[in-house]
Amino acid sequence: MIEILPRINELAKKQRVAGLTREEKAEQNMLRENYLRAIRGQVLDTFSGMKMMDPLGQDITPEKVRHLKEIKE
C-alpha cells in the first residue's frame, strides 16, 4: 500500500500548484480511499489482537474486542 503514497503526494502537490483535471481528481479520491481502507484494516487487525488484563491477572477484554477476534479467526 505504501507504493501508492508517492502518487497521492504528487497529485496533492499538483493540486496546490496548478489544480487537477477531473480525471486526476477522481484518481486522487480513489487512491486516498484505498489508502484509508488499508490503514483502517491494519488498525482493526491490531485492535482485535489486544487482550486487557486487570492488576489481578484476570482477562477484562471488552466484549466488542472479543467479538472482533472471533470474526477474524
Give the number of residues written for the chain. 73
Query: How many structural domains is the chain composed of?
Result: 1
What is the extent of the structural domain holding 66? 2-72
Cell matching residue 17: 500548484
- CA angle 38/33/1 to nearest 5° reads 40
Q: Quick check: 1 and 31 in contact, CB under 8 A?
A: no
pLDDT in tens, 23-47: 999 999 999 999 999 999 888 888 8
- Residue 2 scores a pLDDT above 90: no
**What is the average pLDDT value for the chain, to the nearest integer?**
89
**pTM over cut 0.75:** no
- What does the H/E/C string look like for 5-57? HHHHHHHHHHHHHCCCCHHHHHHHHHHHHHHHHHHHHHHHHHHHCCCCECCCC
Provide, rounded to the nearest whole percent, the portion of the chain with pLDDT above 90.
52
pLDDT, greater one: 16 or 73 = 16
